[in-house]
Amino acid sequence: MASQRYKQMSVLTMSTVAFTTCFAVWVMFSIIGIPIKEQLGLNETQFGLLAATPILTGALVRLPLGMLTDKLGGRSVFFAVMLGTIIPIYLVGRATQYWQFLLLGLFVGLAGGAFSVGISYVAHWFGKTRQGLAMGIFGAGNAGAALTKFVAPSIVVAYGWTMVPTVYAAAMLVVALLFWFLTYSDPAHCAPRHVTFRDQLLALRDPKVWKYSQYYSLVFGGYVALALWMTKYYVAEYGFDLKTAALLAAAFSLPGGVLRAFGGWLSDKWGAHPVTWWVLLVSWVCLFFLAYPQTELTVRTQHGEMHFAIGLTPPVFTVIMFVMGTAWAIGKASVFKYIADDYKQNMGVVSGVVGLAGGLGGFLLPIMFGVLLDFTGVNSSIFMLLWGITLVSLVWMYWTEIVPARKEGRKPSPVAGAVAQRV
């Protein structure tokens, strides 16, 4: 009989592998959407909708899947989610019309709902002192976005974009079977039978849930949106080919996924609040520079005209994106540390609500990006939008966490309190 330690490691490992696969599938339109856009002659808004459609379903199903996980356990729900995506993924490669891609994208998006299942499933196997790290390791499955950027362009170049859904469908089937045979169930992790779905939904009345949802809509929703958009951004802004653009875009996607485990460790050590505060502050600074458009300035002098080019070069832009991806990876873990600390008994429901908000951010932002770009023609306008959203999160945190702590004569944390003195 397997030991508890072995079960914990097996559940954590296979859940992370399964979530990585689901996330890679969830954002595959970030790569294959580019040749589809050219094939169908789509505008920027239509491309944004195509890339974001799977994100919508993945967001909407997170709450019901989280509730089912609390009631039925994570193993069976996770397995069912993976099986439910295989046929739609395969059929994407056979679609020829825009409406067909949108319809299939809705079903493919079920893969994104795996997060609220897996995060609760994994958390229940670990104690409080290691929960943040365990959830962070699981959440590193966000690196599936970078995996898609490494794998999918090579498949597109070698065999055409239609081969990508076929390969992804086969991979999902294999991983689903491995997950089922290498993980375990524990009835003690399920909610008592007398707890109804109505009881579970009472968590929605807590204003803290909506605050955490706001934070997550940025660090996760913004991450998903940029993971979908950055390959295209490099092509449009700097003129790179698809393969090079995808590789550079991975400089944001990869740390945004794999460093989530580090964020979980930091949250266990320092607490959710100070880590999240610094994440938002660093993001706000990064977005300030990213939002500045490429500018050519002409100054008339006594000796003639002087010309200046102001803007981020590709290397500088990529470094700033890497820093922000790292910050968001840490933030995704710290937000869920809040949830693990505050909502031990109904974590599936609350993680479903917060995950839904993050997923909706990932759905709405690419569409808003497309609308902004069609309206302004300025590629960096997408970062102007994200800068404003980050500012809202910082103000909300300051007035609901730091100010009340001051009035009570305490600091929310040594780190955040020191910052608050200078705000």
Question: Phi first, then psi: what are they for 301, rounded to 5°?
Answer: -125, 175
Instruction: Name residue, tokens 């993976």.
Output: 82
With a cut of 90, say whether residue 192 has pLDDT above it. no
Mean pLDDT of 173-180: 97
381-405 pLDDT, tens digit per residue, is: 999 999 999 999 999 998 888 877 7
pLDDT of residue 410: 60
Give the least confident one: 60-69, 140-149, 177-186, 279-288: 140-149
247-280 pLDDT, tens digit per residue, is: 898 888 778 767 877 888 888 888 888 999 999 9
Distances (CA, A) of 179 to 2, 12, 176, 241, 313: 16, 10, 5, 37, 43
104-159 pLDDT, tens digit per residue, is: 999 999 998 898 899 889 988 887 777 778 888 898 887 787 788 889 988 998 99
The residue ranges of DSSP E strands in 259-366, in sequence order, are 295-301, 304-310
For 422, the 3-state DSSP assignment is coil
For CA atoms 369, 374, 380, 385, give the dihedral sign: negative
With a cut of 70, say whether residue 418 has pLDDT above it. no
* Residue 348 identity (one-letter amino acid): G
The residue ranges of DSSP E strands in 248-349, in sequence order, are 295-301, 304-310
Measured distance CA(40)–CA(79) in Å, rounded: 35
| Model confidence, pTM | 0.72
205-256 pLDDT, tens digit per residue, is: 778 888 899 999 999 899 888 988 898 899 988 989 888 998 898 888 778 7
Mean pLDDT of 162-183: 96
Round the average pLDDT of the chain to a whole number and report it.
86
pLDDT of residue 311: 83
For 307, the 3-state DSSP assignment is strand
Contact (Cβ atoms closer than 8 angstroms) between residue 285 and residue 160? no
Mean pLDDT of 323-338: 90
Distances (CA, A) of 359 to 19, 144, 354: 15, 15, 9
The token pair at 48 is: 């944004």
The token pair at 222 is: 């913004």
pLDDT of residue 167: 96
With a cut of 50, say whether residue 345 has pLDDT above it. yes
Neighbours of 240 (CB within 10 A): 18
Q: Going from the N-terminus, what domains does the chain have, and what CATH number goes with each?
A: 4-186+200-420 (1.20.1250.20)
pLDDT of residue 419: 37
Measured distance CA(313)–CA(413) in Å, rounded: 38
Neighbours of 150 (CB within 10 A): 16
The token pair at 149 is: 């950027």
Measured distance CA(99)–CA(106) in Å, rounded: 11
DSSP 201: G
The token pair at 248 is: 């550079």
Better-predicted residue by pLDDT, 35 or 115? 35
Contact (Cβ atoms closer than 8 angstroms) between residue 24 and residue 168? yes
Instruction: Name residue, tokens 């296979």.
Output: 14
91, containing H or E segment: helix 74-92
Mean pLDDT of 279-300: 91
Polymer length in residues for the chain: 423
With a cut of 60, say whether residue 172 has pLDDT above it. yes
pLDDT of residue 421: 38
Phi-psi region of 307 (alpha: psi -120 to 50; beta: other; left: phi over 0): beta
